């Protein structure tokens, strides 16, 4: 984890949140770490947000941990998570150096979905570009630049209550890579037709924890990543891709092991390259 992260509040105020350092051997909860006493931080806007959980112990809040809780999935892809003495979920991967929820809304797993949309890098003659080192074709994926950290990432987003992840992945792609939030109802309908067919041919390539900088001891990101490949370059190639919502820029990015991406997104990209025997 980055030792500290800058939290930018709704009024633009900057707060520096400092994590306690956790030595590699002391991450697991069942390894004693006597000096472990991290600060607790939950962003003020999370405490009042309608999309967020209430504080633990608030009257009427009876979450069903490790289960599907009505429209909210409180199950981890990674197994059963433990509870702290304060009856809050404990990060399924161990200590993060920070208590509270930070900027995340849910106690425990915060579920997202990530579309990995790929095509072959083609030169002007239409031929696939072959990388001189590996002699393998170069794959590209739709990368967006996140507004929050400025890093390049897959255009993923949070699963809404009651939403199927297969819907989330399509909706987020349309919001972040096709700027559907700015589109007219008519444009949306036309795009939706195009995208609907393409997005029925997804392959699940990852389901689990994301090493996201927002993770805390009580709240963490998990995702399901799906690969959508346009082999001929005639499907997504037709789309007018445009960064939108929490994406500030977009590009078809050449895939290789040199890439530096947000959180653990490089793992999805590597999987996509391997599955298609592309350059890495
Ligand atoms: C990552 O955060 C996930 O892999 C997904 O890409 C993203 C979801 O959060 P937002 O983009 O909605 O902030 O952990
Ligand atoms: Mg989004
Ligand atoms: Mg997003």
In a domain, 224, yes or no: yes
In a domain, 225, yes or no: yes
* ipTM over 0.85 threshold: yes
CA of 266 to the centre of ligand 1 (A): 13
In terms of residue numbers, what domain contains 195? 112-275
In a domain, 132, yes or no: yes
Beta strands 99-102 and 157-158: pairing type? unpaired
Q: Strand ranges (DSSP E) for the chain? A: 4-8, 14-18, 40-42, 68-69, 72-73, 99-102, 108-120, 139-146, 152-153, 157-158, 203-209, 219-230, 247-254
pTM reported for the whole predicted model: 0.92
In a domain, 184, yes or no: yes
| Number of independent structural domains in the chain | 1
For position 195, what pLDDT does the model report? 76
For position 246, what pLDDT does the model report? 85
Does the Cβ of 172 fall within 6 Å of ligand 1? no
- Ligand 1 atom closest to the Cα of residue 223 is 4
Does the Cβ of 247 fall within 6 Å of ligand 1? no
Q: pLDDT averaged over consecutive 10-residue blocks of the chain (280 residues)? A: 73 86 95 95 93 94 96 98 94 97 97 96 93 97 92 96 93 82 71 80 96 96 97 78 85 96 96 98
In a domain, 227, yes or no: yes
In a domain, 270, yes or no: yes
Rg (CA), the chain: 20
Handedness of CA 268, 210, 249, 50 (dihedral sign): positive
CA of 157 to the centre of ligand 2 (A): 4
In a domain, 203, yes or no: yes
In a domain, 262, yes or no: yes
For 232, the token pair is: 């001929």
What CATH number is associated with residue 253?
3.90.79.10
């Amino acid at each position: 984890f980055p030792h500290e992260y800058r939290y930018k509040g709704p009024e633009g105020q900057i707060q520096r949140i400092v994590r306690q350092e956790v030595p590699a051997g002391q991450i697991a909860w069942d390894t004693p770490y006597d000096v472990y006493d991290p600060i607790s931080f939950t962003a003020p806007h999370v405490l009042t947000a309608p999309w967020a959980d209430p504080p633990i112990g608030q009257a009427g809040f009876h979450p069903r941990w490790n289960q599907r809780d009505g429209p909210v999935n409180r199950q981890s892809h990674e197994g059963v998570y433990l509870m702290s003495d304060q009856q809050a979920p404990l990060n399924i991967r161990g200590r993060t150096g920070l208590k509270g929820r930070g900027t995340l809304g849910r106690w425990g797993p915060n579920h997202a979905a990530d579309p990995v949309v790929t095509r072959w890098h083609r030169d002007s003659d239409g031929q696939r570009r072959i990388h001189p080192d590996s002699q393998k074709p170069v794959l590209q994926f739709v990368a967006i630049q996140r507004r929050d950290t400025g890093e390049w990432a897959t255009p993923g987003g949070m699963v809404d209550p009651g939403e199927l992840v297969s819907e989330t992945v399509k909706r987020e792609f349309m919001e972040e890579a096709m700027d559907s939030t700015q589109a007219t109802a008519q444009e949306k309908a036309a795009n939706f037709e195009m995208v609907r067919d393409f997005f029925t041919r997804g392959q699940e390539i990852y389901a689990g924890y994301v090493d996201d900088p927002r993770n805390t001891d009580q709240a963490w990101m998990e995702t399901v990543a799906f690969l959508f490949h346009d082999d001929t370059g005639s499907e997504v190639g037709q789309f007018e891709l445009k960064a939108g919502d929490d994406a500030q820029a977009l590009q078809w990015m050449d895939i290789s092991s040199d890439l530096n991406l947000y959180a653990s997104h490089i793992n999805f990209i590597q999987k996509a390259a391997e599955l298609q025997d592309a350059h890495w």
